[in-house]
Amino acid sequence: MSRSSAEYLNDILGSIDLVLRYADAFDVRNPTDSGEGRDAISFRLVVVCEAAGRLPPDVQALAPDIPWADIKGMRNLIVHSYWHIDFDIIATTLQNDIPPFRSTIERLLEIIERSEK
């Protein structure tokens, strides 16, 4: 059974909310901080990136300012080159990129839900 764009967008929003909650609880820049925190954040970022990569091109085209290819690249890095994860980059991404990305995803979800009515 294929998933709808709205389901992928909701997956992204839910995982963003979790990753931000985890980021508040753990210092991902501190290598001696909880490994569980880094694991949880990494997993949720994979979900965000995977769901974003599964959005159809016409949905992605509604937000041309989003670097969709870079998002897919982050997923691939975390999954396939986990030993190269730079948690300073992850922390900066969480602080600077995730909040506006979340706003864009909310806007896309509103557009999709309106078009389905």
Sign of CA dihedral 45, 22, 104, 117: positive
Q: Which residue has the higher pLDDT, 83 or 94?
A: 94
pLDDT digits (tens, 9 = 90+) for 36-66: 888 999 999 999 999 999 999 999 999 999 9
Structure tokens at 34: 């909880």
- 92-95, long-range: CB within 8 Å, 24+ apart, which pairs? 94/19, 94/20, 94/23, 94/28, 94/41
pLDDT digits (tens, 9 = 90+) for 1-23: 578 999 999 999 999 999 999 98
Residue type at 116 in one-letter notation = E
pLDDT score for 54: 96
Structure tokens at 82: 């986990």
Sign of CA dihedral 48, 53, 54, 60: positive
Largest CA distance in the chain: 50
Close Cβ partners of 29 (under 8 Å, ≥ 6 residues apart): 87, 88, 91
pLDDT score for 27: 79
Per-residue confidence band for 101, with pLDDT thresholds at 50, 70 and 90: very high
What does pTM read for this prediction? 0.91
Residue 110, pLDDT above cutoff 80? yes
Judge residue 19's burial from the number of C-beta atoms within 10 Å of its C-beta, 0-12 exposed, 13-18 middle, 19 or more buried: buried
Residue type at 41 in one-letter notation = I
Per-residue confidence band for 34, with pLDDT thresholds at 50, 70 and 90: low
pLDDT score for 49: 97
Task: State what percent of residues in the chain have pLDDT above 90.
Answer: 73
Residue 36: φ, ψ to 5°: -65, -40
